[in-house]
Amino acid sequence: MDKEHIVIIGGGACGVAAFIELFVQLKAGGHEHKVKITLIEPDEIGKGLAFGTSQPGHLLNTQADLMGIHASEPAHYSEWLKSRSHEVSSETIGLESPDDAYSTRRLYSNYLQEQFQHYYQIAEASGAAPTIIHKQAINVVRADNYWNILLDDGEHIPAAYVLLALGTPKPDNYPELLGIDNYIDFPWPSQPILERIGKEDTVGILGSSLSAIDAVMTLVDNDHRGPIHLYSPDGMLPRVQSKEDTKYERKFLTQSAAHQIKRTRLRSPRVTELFRLFRKEAEHYNGTTIDWQNTGRTQKPAREYLLDDIRIAQTGGDAFMNILYALRYEAGTIWHWLSVEEKKKFKRWIGGYWTRNRHGMPLANALRLQQLFESERLFVHPDFKQVEFDPQLNQFMVKYAEHTDHVNYLINATGPGTKIDQMKSTLIQNLRQATLIEAYEPGGIKIEPTTMQVVSNRAIQEQLYAVGHLCNGMLLDVNAVWFNVKTVARACKHMLTKATGEHYA
C-alpha cells in the first residue's frame, strides 16, 4: 500500500512541532508505516527567524513554562532547563525558578533541535523513512488529487498533505530604500548590522517594539557606542514582564461574559463592549476607580514610562498586564467571535496597547535599556512621519514631530508584514497570485480554524494547511509558541485521521 505523503514546509518551531506531533501520534498508534513525512527547510532545522539568532541579548519574551514544543506539555521546556541547569545557567535568567525563567532564544533553538533530532532518529530507526530537504519551496499547485510542491532548483515533490509553517516573512514596506548600503531592511539575521555599522555611528531604528529592542541588543552586545534613535508613530516601548507570573482570577473580562453578549444580543460582541468589561476588570483588580484619561502612554517620554514599568514588573505587575496575561487561554476564542469589522477596529483602536501590554519585554532587557537611557546613548521619538536618504550627505533624514534627524545607518524594525501582499516570500506571492490563498482583511490568510485548512474562493483547499504568522488575522496569538503548537496539533490530527482512517485525539 502506497504511503500517504505529508510535507511540512518550514523547519522553524512550528515545523518541528508538526514533525514531532505527527510521528508521535503515528508511532503511538502503530501506524508509522502508513505515512511518510518530509520537511522542507533551506536552513538548519529548529532555528527559523524567531529562534535562529546567535545574539546573547535576544531573549525569549515568554517565560519557560509556556515554551514547551509539545502541545499537551507547555512546561516541557522549563523541565528541560531544570534537568540541565548547570549547562544552561549562563544562557538563562531567573533559573532559580525555572518556570518563570527567560532563556536566550539561541538556547531555545538548541532545545528545538535536540527534540527534533530525538524523534527523527526514532522515525528513521522504525523505518518510517522521514526526509529533510534543505531547499526553498517556491510554489504549490493542485495536480489531480494531490499537491505538487515546486522547489527553487526546479525539483517537484508530490504530496497528499501540505502544511505551510512559513513563519514570519520580512515586511515589504520601504522598497525605495532597498539597495542603499546604509539601510538594513530587517533586524535578523544580525550579520548585516555587525558587518556594516561602525561602533561610533549614529543609528536610526524604525519601530519601538520587541523587534527594535532586538536591534538595540545586537548593537550594544557588539560594543556599539554611538547614539541609537528609535522612531515610531506612538513612541511606545513594550511594557516589562513581571519577574514572576502573577496569577489573577478574572471576574468580568471572561469568555462567558463575551458569550453572554453574543447569546443575549444574537450578534458578535463589539470591541467597545469588551473594552467596557476590561475597564470594570481593571478597577476591580485595583479596588478603586481609574482615571482612564490618564492611561494613555503618550504624556511623558518613553524612558520615564520604562522606569515605572520596571518598578511595576519588580513588584508583580499591574492590572493592565496581569489581566491580559490571565486572559491568555480565552482571548483566542473571544477574538474568533469578533466580526471582521470589529477585528479591524480592535487593531486600529487598541492594537498598539494590546501588543505593548501582552507582549512585554523581559526585565533583564528593560534594565539594559534603562542604562542606555541614563548614559544618553538611547533615544525614543514618537510621531514618526517619514524617512529619506540624502546621497550627498550619505545619511538618512528622519522626520518626526517638528524635527528632522540625520542618522548614518537605518534599521527597519517595524516588525513582520501582517498583510499577505506585504509579505516578502516567493511562495506566498505565488500562492496569492494563483488564489490558492486569500487575504483576510484583518491580516494574514483565510483558514478554517478547526482543521487549520486554507480557505480561498469560499472553498476549503483540501489538505492544504497553514499555521503561525500566516494566520495572524484569523487567529490572535500566532506570535506565541504555546498557541501555535496547539494549532499545529489540530492540523496534524485532521491530517492523520484522513491519512490513516484512524481517529486521533
Main-chain phi, psi angles of 191, to 5 degrees: -50, -50
Among 25, 55, 62, 232, binds ligand FAD (CB under 6 A): 62
382 sits near ligand FAD (criterion: CB under 6 A):
no
Compare residues 55 and 408 and give the one whose CB is closer to ligand FAD: 55
Query: What torsion do the CA atoms of 220, 224, 226, 232 make, to the nearest 10 degrees?
Result: -40
For residue 143, which amino acid is it? A
The region of 41-49, 297-305, 397-405, 456-464 touching ligand FAD under the rule CB under 6 A is 41-49
We find the least distance from the C-beta atom of residue 112 to ligand FAD, in angstroms, to be 9
436 sits near ligand FAD (criterion: CB under 6 A):
no
Contacts of 303 (CB under 8 A, 6+ apart): 370, 373, 378, 380
DSSP lists the bridge partners of residue 407 as 396
Of 32, 47, 40, which is closest to residue 147 (Cα–Cα)? 40
446 to 485: interface string for ligand FAD, x by CB under 6 A: ----------------------xx---------xxx--x-
* Per-residue buried b or exposed e for 136-153, using 16+ beta carbons within 10 Å of the residue's own CB: bbbbbeeeeeebebbbee
Q: How far apart are CA 77 and CA 111, in angstroms?
A: 8
Compare residues 28 and 141 and give the one whose CB is closer to ligand FAD: 141
Complete DSSP assignment for 317-357: --HHHHHHHHTHHHHHHHHHHS-HHHHHHHHHHTHHHHHHH
Q: How far apart are CA 325 and CA 329, in angstroms?
A: 9
We find the least distance from the C-beta atom of residue 99 to ligand FAD, in angstroms, to be 15
> What part of residues 187-226 is at the interface with ligand FAD (CB under 6 A)?
188, 214
Among 40, 203, 230, 327, binds ligand FAD (CB under 6 A): 40
Among 8, 137, 162, 492, binds ligand FAD (CB under 6 A): 137
9 sits near ligand FAD (criterion: CB under 6 A):
yes
Compare residues 166 and 437 and give the one whose CB is closer to ligand FAD: 166
Compare residues 161 and 278 and give the one whose CB is closer to ligand FAD: 161
Decide the pairing of beta strands 170-171 and 228-231: unpaired
Query: What torsion do the CA atoms of 297, 418, 215, 54 make, to the nearest 10 degrees?
Result: 130
We find the least distance from the C-beta atom of residue 310 to ligand FAD, in angstroms, to be 19
Among 165, 331, 464, 489, binds ligand FAD (CB under 6 A): 165
Compare residues 137 and 219 and give the one whose CB is closer to ligand FAD: 137
Residues that bind ligand FAD (CB under 6 A): 9-15, 40-43, 47-51, 60-62, 136-137, 165-168, 188, 214, 425, 427, 468-469, 479-481, 484
